[in-house]
Amino acid sequence: MMDTFAALAHGMAVAIQPMNLLYALIGVFLGTAVGVLPGIGPALTVALLLPVTYKLDPGGSLIMFAGIYYGGMYGGSTTAILINTPGESASMATALEGNKMAKAGRGGPALATSAIGSFVAGTIATIGLAFLAPWLVDFAVRFGPEDYFALMCVAFVTVSATFGDSPVRGLTSLFIGLTLGLVGIDKLTGQARLAFGVPELLDGVEVTTLAVGLFAVGEALYVASRRHHTEEKLEPVRGSLWMTKEDWKRSWKPWLRGTMFGFPIGALPAGGAEIPTFLSYSTEKRLTKHPEEFGKGAIEGVAGPEAANNASAAGTLVPLLTLGLPTSATAAMMLAGFQQYGLNPGPLLFAERPDLVWGLIASLFIANVMLLVLNLPLVGLWVRLLAIPQPWLYAGILVFATMGTIAAKPSVVELSMLAGFGVLGFLMRRFDFPIAPVVVGLILGPIAESQLRRALAISLGDPMTLLQSPISATLLGVALIALLAPFVLKGLGRFKANED
Amino acid sequence: MSSGDPAQPRRVDRAGIIIAALLAALAAVLVWDARGLQSAAMYGMGPEAMPVVIASGLALLAIGNFIDALRGNLPARESTDPVPVFLILVGLALLIAIIGFGGGFILATSALFVTTSAAFGRRAVLVDSVIALVMSTLIYLAFDRLLTLSLPAGPLERLL
């Protein structure tokens, strides 16, 4: 307990150095500016801005990342409220009531309750992260390679199968990602896999190339292909920005309840903010004293899901920092950011670079405060960004997206891969395959393989080692249940439907 | 492969069949590639084990997707307009070609900007070209001078 306070104070001392404050400010600003653009969620925001941080020192750039991460979340909710195009599924619940509020001329209070709610939830959840992380690190130190492998199996299953619409399609996405993870030189034996004699493929598939291709290029192709379907309408922010006393009274409980949903679910290796946001939405709908307003713009329906969204974002940092386990596309991009500097999050990083980890956690608090102070007064600026005509907006997004790849590896092969992943992203959107499992598969696949091979090398090739460790056996059991549950439940559902 | 029972109540989804076939083909490629690897590990698994495991998974998923397609279980799709998609792909191809032949960052990204903008319905190609050139020049200067990231230089960049 006291250790956490001391570590946090130390981190705060790192984070409030003037240069680091500046990095946090730049990150928050860039994150909000990019996140507010329609169709760009936090994961893509981080992916697009990854090359910008390439030349900074690790400490500064991780602090900038924290700002980009939280800024992207804030920006996303602004878009959801004002034009009803949530950049990612986590903002869908916010868009439900928030856009109705904006249509009814209450856009200001909707933005305010989401900003303040995000601040409250983000702060509470970051405190949770600070206290939960050391405890988990103590636990994770005892993990052997077989336990890590089992843990990753849990993450694979929960991210792709358990919580999606269709386990078959989610697992298909995951296996595409795992296949891409195989490409390149095998680290243990130096043999090339799936490189087909192309030298650029020996280094493997770059995570940023995949993410930017799937998210940015894929999204642009998809939106272009169905442009004739929808006309986006930007709601102007009319009236007061400030919340009335009544608004405050109706908001604070949903904020806290949303945090209680978001943080634990985000911290479990279950991934995704959709579940906590929709849980929060339905809870607020049930508890509200103004049920007649739901569906027409109830402030509780913005305050709760927004808080849940931010709390779960901080929650996903728990497995990411303590176990190196990304459970959402955004967390996967954060992990790519760490790997850019050869850093591997996990218990070892807490022991070896406490300044870095605690500096990052402390700067999350600072980023949160900055966002609260910056966002409400600057909302007019963000709204103007939303008014960029669609052709220029997507043309600019594509230029920015390809720029990252051009800056990192200006080769024809790399750019062709970017375009190819763009087509893949387009097809996956069209046929309703989830995208996040591909990114998680690419990042975690190689790590899972090397942990499994290490475990088997230690046990002299005896696969029973996976079941002899109690941690590993338990986790593999959880993974198996999580894998089979949706199929069994679906079967039960069909059975019931036949009975009726 | 039987292409669906006529007694099935729902229609067979042809796109779903193609997806299943592609997954099966990918699994075959994995196995073919893994056969060329030598197992150098004394104990445990060599580099060829994981590709085979993943290929088995892909093969199972190909079957799963095939069944979904036969049952017509795929979600409904909206009609799409192929022209804008084609335009953006042309833009990406131009970008790759210009970078590949040393045309430089500014020309390459400008080409992408103009084609994408046209794909989203703009017809003012000249105006967009000017905007694109100015914007990409500014980006080039910002990255090259301020962030000291090197972007590929072509004839235009050498003039700056």
**Residue B2: band (very low, low, confident or very high) from pLDDT cuts 50, 70, 90:** very low
Task: Say if residues A70 and A121 touch (Cβ distance below 8 Å).
Answer: no
Residue from the list B74, B89, B120 with its beta carbon closest to the beta carbon of A391:
B120
What confidence tier does A497 reach under pLDDT thresholds 50, 70, 90? very low
With residue A274 as reference, give the H or E element that holds it. helix A274-287
- Checking if the pLDDT of A398 tops 80, the result is yes
Q: Give the pLDDT band of residue A173 (cuts 50, 70, 90).
A: very high
Q: Using an 8 Å CB-CB cutoff, list chain B residues near A194.
A: 29-30, 33, 51
Count of other CB atoms within 10 angstroms of residue A57: 11
Minimum distance, in Å, between the CA of residue B5 and any CA atom of chain A:
21
Residue in A52, A178, A188 closest to B47 by CB: A188
Report the number of secondary-structure helices (H) and strands (E) in chain A. Answer: 22, 2
pLDDT at B63 > cutoff 90? yes
Is the CA virtual torsion A51, A53, A56, A62 positive or negative?
negative
Chain A residues whose CB is inside 8 A of the B157 CB are none
Which tokens hold the place of B70? 């036969």
Q: Which residue from B51, B81, B121 is facing A182, i.e. has the nearest CB?
A: B51
Q: Which of A346, A327, A361 is nearest to A436 (CA)?
A: A327
CB B130 within 8 A of CB B113: no
Give the H or E element holding residue A185: strand A184-185
**pLDDT value at position A229?**
63
Taking an 8 Å cut-off on Cβ atoms, the answer to whether A228 and B85 are in contact is no
> Where residue B53 falls among pLDDT bands split at 50, 70, 90?
very high
Question: What is the spatial distance between Cα A345 and Cα A343, in angstroms, rounded to a whole number?
Answer: 6
Q: Are A84 and A107 in contact (CB under 8 A)?
A: no
Residue of B nearest to A169 (CA): B65
The whole-angstrom separation of Cα B92 and Cα A224 is 14
Contact B44 A456 (CB under 8 A): yes
* A193/B37 touch (CB, cutoff 8 Å), yes or no: yes
Over 80: is that where the pLDDT of B78 sits? no
Separation CA B61–CA A449 (nearest Å): 20
Instruction: Using the predicted structure, report yes or no on whether residue A493 has a pLDDT greater than 60.
Output: no
Cβ burial of B125 (10 Å; 0-12, 13-18, 19+) is: exposed
- Tell me whether residue A362 is exposed, middle or buried, using C-beta atoms within 10 angstroms of its C-beta: 0 to 12, 13 to 18, 19 or more: buried
* C-alpha neighbours within 13 Å on the C-beta side of residue B146: 8
Provide mean pLDDT across the span A420-433.
93
Query: CA of A106 to nearest chain B CA: how many angstroms apart?
Result: 31
Q: Of A155-164, A295-304, A335-344, B131-140, where does mean pLDDT reach its minimum? A: A155-164
pLDDT band at residue A492 under the 50/70/90 scheme = low
CB-count burial class (<10 Å; 0-12, 13-18, 19+) for B123: exposed
Q: Note whether B117 and B128 are within 8 A (CB).
A: yes
Tell me the C-alpha to C-alpha distance, in Å, between residue A398 and each of A220, A386, B129: 8, 17, 15
Nearest chain B residue (CA) to A415:
B96
The predicted pLDDT at position A499 comes to 44
Say if strands A184-185 and A192-193 run parallel, antiparallel, or are unpaired. Answer: antiparallel
Q: What percent of chain B has pLDDT over 70?
A: 89
Maximum average pLDDT range among A457-461, B35-39, B57-61: B57-61
- Which residues of chain A make contact with B50, given a CB cutoff of 8 A? 182, 449, 452
CA of B29, closest CA in chain A: separation in Å? Answer: 8
Residue B78 to residue A403, Cβ atoms within 8 A: no
B149·A229 Cβ contact <8 A:
no
Is there a contact between B92 and A402 if contact means CB atoms under 8 Å apart?
yes
Q: Which of A333, A117, A130 is nearest to A216 (CA)?
A: A333
Greater confidence (A420 vs A350) lies with A420
Is B64 in Cβ contact with A172 (below 8 Å)?
Answer: yes
Average pLDDT of the segment spanning B36-43:
70
> Does the pLDDT at position B11 exceed 80?
no
Q: Give yes or no for residue A79 having a pLDDT over 60.
A: yes
Are A437 and A175 in contact, with CB atoms under 8 Å apart? no
pLDDT at residue B4, rounded to an integer: 41
Among residues A157, A213, A150, the alpha carbon closest in space to that of A435 is found at A213
Candidates A64, A172, A200, A442: best to mutate against B (most CBs of B within 10 A) is A172
The predicted pLDDT at position B3 comes to 42
From CA A239, how far away is CA A105, in angstroms rounded?
7
B66: nearest CA partner in chain A: A168
Residue A185 main-chain phi, psi, to 5 deg? -75, 130
Closest CA to A429 of A163, A221, A208: A221
pLDDT computed for residue A95 by the predictor: 83
Tell me the two tokens of residue A470.
């109690």
The pLDDT value given to residue B5: 43
3-class state of residue A184 by DSSP: strand
Residue A235, sorted as left (phi over 0), alpha (psi -120 to 50) or beta, turns out to be: beta
**Residue B155, number of CB atoms within 10 A of its CB:** 11
Characterise B38 by phi-psi region: left (phi > 0), alpha (psi -120 to 50), beta (else).
beta
Full-model pTM: 0.87
* Chain A closest-CA separation from residue B155 CA (Å): 16
Instruction: Report the pLDDT value the prediction gives residue B117, as an integer from 0 to 100.
Output: 93
Question: Is A402 in CB contact (< 8 Å) with chain B?
Answer: yes
Q: Determine contact: A398 vs chain B, CB below 8 A.
A: yes
Give A452's contacts in chain B (Cβ within 8 Å). 45, 50
Instruction: Test A456 with B45 for CB contact under 8 angstroms.
Output: yes
Given an 8 Å threshold on Cβ–Cβ distance, is A179 in contact with B30? yes
**pLDDT, mean of residues A133-162:** 86
Contact A438, A174 (CB under 8 A): yes
Of residues A205 and A385, the one with the higher pLDDT is A205
User: Tokens in use for A200?
Assistant: 């650029």
Residues of A in contact with B88 (CB under 8 A): 220-221, 224, 398
Chain A residues lying within 8 Å of B117, measured CB to CB: 391-392, 394-395
Q: Which residue of A has its CA nearest to B79?
A: A226
- Is the CB of residue A374 less than 8 Å from the CB of residue A118? no
Residue with token string 């030298």:
A199
The pLDDT, as a whole number, for residue A239 is 63
pLDDT of residue B43: 65
Identify the pLDDT of residue A500.
41
Task: Tell me whether residues A189 and B47 touch, CB distance under 8 A.
Answer: yes
Chain centre distance of CA B32: 23
DSSP string computed for B35-78: HT-----SSS--TTHHHHHHHHHHHHHHHHHHHHHHHT-SPP--
CB contact under 8 A, A229 and B65: no
Cβ contact B44–A193 (<8 Å): no
**Which A positions 445-474 lie with beta carbon below 8 A of chain B?**
449, 452-453, 455-457, 459-461
Distance CA A80, CA A305 (A): 12
The pLDDT of residue A126 is above 70:
yes
Q: How confident is the model at residue A417 (pLDDT cuts 50, 70, 90)?
A: very high
B61/A431 Cβ within 8 A:
no
Cross-chain CB nearest to A186 (options B47, B139, B150): B47
How far apart are alpha carbons A22 and A1 in whole angstroms? 30
Specify the DSSP class assigned to residue A324.
-
- Name the pLDDT band for B8 (thresholds 50, 70, 90): very low
Which region holds residue A186: left if phi is over 0, alpha if psi is between -120 and 50, else beta? beta
CA distance B53 to B66: 20
C-alpha distances out from residue B15 to A219, A407, A469, Å: 20, 37, 44
Can you name the residues that pair with A184 across neighbouring β-strands? A193
Q: Which amino acid, A190?
A: G
- Which amino acid, residue A196? F
Which chain A residues touch B108 with a CB distance below 8 Å? Answer: 406
What's the one-letter identity of residue A1? M
pLDDT at A180 exceeding the cut of 90: yes
- On the 0-12 / 13-18 / 19+ scale of CB atoms within 10 A, B72 is middle
Residue type, A452: L
Q: Which single residue is written with the structure tokens 């009814």?
A: A104
What does the alpha-carbon distance between residue A99 and residue A90 come to, in Å, rounded to a whole number?
A: 15
Distance CA A235, CA A95 (A): 12
The verdict on A220 touching B (C-beta cutoff 8 Å) is: yes
Is A271's pLDDT higher than 60?
A: no
* Residue contact A431–B77, C-beta within 8 A: yes
Distance from CA of A381 to the nearest CA of B (A): 20
Helix axes A58-83, A329-340, angle to 10 degrees: 160
pLDDT of amino acid B57 = 95
Instruction: Concatenate the DSSP letters of all residues of A356-397 into one string.
Output: HHHHHHHHHHHHHHHHHHHHTTTHHHHHHHHTS-HHHHHHHH
Q: Strand, helix or coil at B8? A: coil
> Do the chains contact at A403 and B151, CB–CB below 8 Å?
yes
CB-closest option in B43, B58, B117 to A460 = B43
Nearest CB to B117 within list A172, A395, A459: A395
- d(C-alpha A347, C-alpha B2), whole Å: 53
Residue A404 and residue A44 in contact, taking contact as beta carbons nearer than 8 Å: no
